[in-house]
Structure 1
Amino acid sequence: MMNASSPAPARRTELLAAGAATVTVVLWASAFVSIRSAGAAYSPGALALGRLLAGAVTLGTICLLRREGLPPREAWRGIALSGLLWFGFYMVVLNWGEQQVDAGTAALVVNTGPILIALLGSRLLGDAMPPRLVAGMAVSFAGAVAVGLSMSGKGGSSVLGVVLCLLAAVGYAAGVVAQKPALGRASALQVTTFGCLVGAVACLPFAGRLVHDVAHAPASATLNVVYLGVFPTALAFTTWAYALARTTATRMGATTYAVPALVVAMSWLFLGEIPGVLTLAGGALCLAGVAVSRSRPGLSGPARATAAPRPSEHARPGEHA
């Protein structure tokens, strides 16, 4: 029988969190392809509202089936802040920014987000920044710069677009840091569902434009909006919250550096955009940096068996992994 000091349960939780993070980055990478397709027919606000409404319906249905109920009162501050900053503000300004700058510039500016998460997480949440994490983020950011530079100049750029993408990165980082404490008081599904609802309510001023765009958009663009709501929003934000509840905001932010590499691969497969050597090298650096940032110094012998996982990686009391 497994004794209490066995590392197996902690290892299982760690593997589940890593799997959830992988699902998140794959689906978020696919979102860039869908946004590029739907953005030609939908305005930034309408696209954000349509995506959030589809996500809210999906998440709300799952919550009702699971009888999740309302989050505890103590969690609402984090849920409301993350809903406004990340689900609402971030999605609108990112959609708008990507209409003003080329894909490479947008990817480069938005990828300052994990660095901002690390700074805010260290300051506000007390997140540790071990050397491997810092080194991995530096390698990944260098890869993001390479990807951005290799893709720049293909769609034009503007000062407004750069500012919008930077604002998106700030909203993303602040939303993640606000969400982290809420996950200690409510389930990942509750935090994601009600954060999505808050974002949808904040985007309701775009309802008239959404009705207009739905009436005039081709079916393929509308299907992309629904896809964005169901998968990169409902599913990916839930798996993100599940993983974030079991690790630090800084480490999760570093994980998202895999997104540029996956976007390059998906654009190659689905859009026929053949990447150059610099783009491929940058994508490889992004993935290498993520691997370094998520690695830990090895333990040997009895130390490995007795080492306790960090409290932040445990599920909340009463919640099964």
Structure 2
Amino acid sequence: MRDGRGGREPSPLWLKASPVIFLLIWSGGFGFAKMGLEHAEPLTLLALRYALVLAVLAPAALLLRPPLPPSRAVWGHLAVVGVLFQTVYFGLCYVAMKSGLSAGGIAMIVSMQPILVAILAPRLTGEVVTLRRWAGLGLGLAGAALVIGVRNELSAESLLGPALAGIAVFAIAGATLYERRFGVTCHPVTSNAVQYAAGFATTLPLALAMENLHVDWTWELGIALVYLVVGNSLVALTLLLAMIRRGEAAQVSSLFFMVPPVSALIAWLVIGEVMPPVAWAGLALAAAGVAIAGPAGSRMRRS
């Protein structure tokens, strides 16, 4: 966003804190999703999650009466991002976890998204990814791999789960680049409502066709749904899309290198999983990579 004098508007305080908040909430989502999948099939869990999100957004929309998207094109762009994020990315991730891929394993695979974004961003969004940013992305990947590797998160897993997670990486990278190129700033309630409606409209038919819709209603499922609806669906994704609009795609995507290490750190703090000293070194390496791949690591092409 730019001000009337052609300069970039200063970022609000909440946006400056967004990376930390996003990382904490997003990193915890893999574990809570794994918890929920113990009590529901993957697409059924997603359809239920999106229905609850829309139930939360409906009264907010009636109360706030936010402006609607200004054109059919904007409606379409919001829907495309919603399908890529909610149906394709999360659908594949949930099916992968249900097939046996661990939460840490899928976090590790998805953390490769920044490399894909960095490769595609110059052609699709006009960003020039410099050698400094490539170095940061490489350090981030190495640090994330080190953390997960020493914790043996990727051992003894079927090929189906990693294959689905690999396709999911393309989905979230595509959503990131599409949002960066075509995204238009809308009221958060409006954009979330359209995107989750698109996700629900495409996920529910798949669940009806492929699953029996059985749900084991337990308190563990309730806790998982609260976290996934409020944390991942409403807070984390809103912050992610805001950061994408205000920053560059490769810079924002570099945050995903921190997800596996932060997931490991949260597990250590919350449930006492011990991190070996080498894993702490990996955490520091990933953090250094994200710092190097920051704003100074890329520039926009001039027309």
Q: TM-score range by the shorter chain?
A: 0.7 to 0.9
Question: Match for 1:50 among 48, 51, 54?
Answer: 48
Distance 1:310 1:71, change over 3 A: same
Q: Determine if the alignment matches structure 1 residue 136 to structure 2 residue 136.
A: yes
- C-alpha distance after superposition, 1:88-114 (max 9, x if no partner): 111111012123223443232211112
Distance 1:211 1:160, change over 3 A: closer
Distance 1:153 1:220, change over 3 A: closer
3-state SS, counterpart of residue 152 of structure 1: coil
**Structure 2: gaps spanning 5 or more residues:** none
- Quote the residue 1:212 is aligned against: 214
Give % identity.
24
CA distance in 1, matches of 2:198, 2:77: 11
- Quote the residue 1:274 is aligned against: 274
- Quote the residue 1:315 is aligned against: none
Distance 1:58 1:120, change over 3 A: farther
- Quote the residue 2:252 is aligned against: 252
- Quote the residue 2:119 is aligned against: 119
- Quote the residue 1:85 is aligned against: 84
The TM-score with structure 2 as length reference comes to 0.86
CA distance in 2, matches of 1:126, 1:77: 22
How far apart are residue 5 of structure 1 and its match? 6.9
- Quote the residue 1:305 is aligned against: none
Q: How many corresponding residue pairs?
A: 294
Question: Match for 2:11 among 10, 13, 16?
Answer: 13
CA distance in 1, matches of 2:133, 2:108: 20
The TM-score with structure 1 as length reference comes to 0.81
Question: Match for 1:69 among 67, 70, 74?
Answer: 67
Say what the alpha-carbon RMSD is for the aligned residues. 2.8
How far apart are residue 71 of structure 1 and its match? 1.4
Distance 1:211 1:138, change over 3 A: same
Work out whether residues 94 and 168 of structure 1, in 8 Å CA contact, stay in contact via their aligned partners in 2: yes
* Paired residue type of 1:57: A
Work out whether residues 148 and 154 of structure 2, in 8 Å CA contact, stay in contact via their aligned partners in 1: no
- C-alpha distance after superposition, 1:24-69 (max 9, x if no partner): 2221011122112222112111222222222233334333332213
**Structure 1: gaps spanning 5 or more residues:** 298-308, 312-321
- C-alpha distance after superposition, 1:271-315 (max 9, x if no partner): 322122232222222222112212538xxxxxxxxxxx989xxxx
CA distance in 2, matches of 1:281, 1:103: 21
CA distance in 2, matches of 1:262, 1:34: 15
Distance 1:193 1:286, change over 3 A: farther
CA distance in 2, matches of 1:256, 1:193: 25
Distance 1:108 1:51, change over 3 A: same
Distance 1:310 1:115, change over 3 A: closer
Distance 1:56 1:133, change over 3 A: farther
- Quote the residue 1:102 is aligned against: 102
How far apart are residue 153 of structure 1 and its match? 5.3
Q: Determine if the alignment matches structure 1 residue 146 to structure 2 residue 146.
A: yes
* Paired residue type of 1:24: F
CA distance in 1, matches of 2:84, 2:287: 27
3-state SS, counterpart of residue 256 of structure 1: helix
